[in-house]
Chain A
C-alpha cells in the first residue's frame, strides 16, 4: 500500500500546522483538506421529515407485540433463569454442542475441589476451571473479557492447530459471570452458544455463565 507521509498524517490529525510541513508536502496536505471539504458539504443534512413520529410509532407497535407475547415469555422465563442460577456441581455441558455443531461450547475441564495444592498461584480456593471455546476461523487473535477480568480483554485464547477453534482455560469463582469474546482486538462478540445472555447497555449482549460450588469430592 502506498502510505501517506507521517508528517501529512500528523497535520491531518491537527498535530502539525501547514507551515510546519516541508514545502514539498504542503500541496498534498491542502488536497486532503479540499477532499474533506467536499465530503462535509455533501454529507446528508439529517433525518428525513416525520422520522421521530415513525420511531415513536414503531416503539408503540413493538411494545404492543411484546404485551401480546408476554404470557408465553413469562412462562418460559423461569426455566432459563433457573438454569442460570441453579447450584450444580459444575458440568457446563458444551461438549455436546461442540461435537454436534463444531461450533462453540463452554465446558468445564477440571473443577478445582479446594483440597490439595492449588494448581496455579493466585487462584482463589473454590475456583473452578472453565474452558471457553469459540469458532473464529478468520481471526488472528481472540481474547476473553468479562466481569472476572474487569472487562479487560486480557485473557488470550489459543488455536494451536490453526483450525479456527480458539480455546483457553480460566479459573472462575462460583457465581454467575458475564463475558464476551474479542476478535482481533476490536470486535466484541457474544458467545453464539451461550444459553443465556443479557443486554450490556450498549446494544450488545453479554453472555452469561453460571458456575456453582463443587459439592465434595
Chain B
C-alpha cells in the first residue's frame, strides 16, 4: 500500500483526478510544470512580476478548461501552449522596442571575481535588450530552442507550427540578434 502511494502518479492520472475535483491533483500538476512555464514567461516578458501573472492566468485558464486537454499524457505540452499564447497576447499589448537598457532585469550579484560578474551582468543586459527587440515570434522560437533547449519537433508539437517554419524563425532571430548585439556594443 505504501509502495502504491509512493508511486508518482502519471500526468494522465493527475488530470483524471483533477477533473474529478481533486485540488491536490491539480496542485501536483502545477508543481510539476510551474518552473518550465515560469522560465518561459520570464524570458518572454522580461519581468518576474509579469511572468508570475502570465503563468497564473494560464493555469487558471487551464484548470477551467481541463476537459479540453485531449491528450492528458501530454498535459505539460498543453500547459506550455496555453502559457505561450497568453504570453503573446500579453506582449502584444505593449509597444515593441519600448524597453531601454535600464528596463532589463538585473542579474543577482554573484560571489567570485567582481569584474567577471560585472562583465557578465553587462553582457546579459545587452542580450536581454536585444532579445526584447526581436519580433515576438522570432523571440519565442529562439527562447524555446536555445534557452529552454527544446527540439524543433517538440516546439512544433507545442506551437502547432511546422518544423521548417520554426527553423526559419530561429534563423531570423539569430540574424537579428547578431545585428542588435553589434549595435549595442
Contacts and interface: CB of A to CB of B under 8 A. Distances in A.
Contact of A1 (B63, B167, B179): B179
A9 B171 contact: yes
Interface residues of A, number: 38
Contacts of B78: 201-202
A203 B52 contact: no
Contacts of B60: 55, 58-59, 62
Contacts, number: 120
B43 A47 contact: no
Given A2-B175, A51-B34, A55-B56, A39 B65 contact: no
Interface in B149-179: 149, 152, 160-161, 165, 167, 170-171, 174-176, 178-179
B15 interface: no
Contacts of A42: 107, 120, 124
A44 B48 contact: yes
Contact of A203 (B27, B51, B58): B58
A45 B39 CA distance: 7
Given A9-B171, A42-B107, A203-B61, A55 B30 contact: yes
A48 interface: yes
B175 A4 contact: yes
Contacts of B65: 199, 201, 203
Contacts of A203: 58, 61-62, 65, 81-82, 85-86
A2 B174 CA distance: 10
**Could you say which interface size class chain B belongs to?**
35 or more
Contacts of A36: 146
A58 B174 CA distance: 38
B69 A56 contact: no
A110 B165 CA distance: 37
Contacts of B167: 13
A215 interface: no
Interface in A48-75: 48, 51-52, 54-56, 58-60, 62
Contacts of B86: 203
A131 to B, nearest CB: 27
Contacts of A1: 175-176, 179
Given A38-B127, A203-B62, 18 more contacts: A1-B175, A4-B178, A9-B171, A42-B107, A42-B120, A44-B38, A44-B39, A44-B48, A46-B35, A52-B27, A52-B31, A59-B23, A59-B63, A186-B161, A203-B58, A203-B65, A203-B82, A204-B85
8 contacts: A13-B170, A32-B174, A46-B38, A48-B38, A48-B52, A55-B55, A186-B137, A203-B61
- The 4 A-B residue pairs with the shortest CB-CB distance, nearest first, are A46-B35, A201-B68, A203-B82, A47-B38
Interface of B: 23, 26-27, 30-31, 34-39, 42-43, 48, 51-52, 55-56, 58-65, 68-70, 78, 81-82, 85-86, 107, 120, 123-124, 127, 137, 146-147, 149, 152, 160-161, 165, 167, 170-171, 174-176, 178-179, 182
Interface of A: 1-4, 9, 12-13, 32, 35-36, 38-40, 42-48, 51-52, 54-56, 58-60, 62, 185-187, 199-204
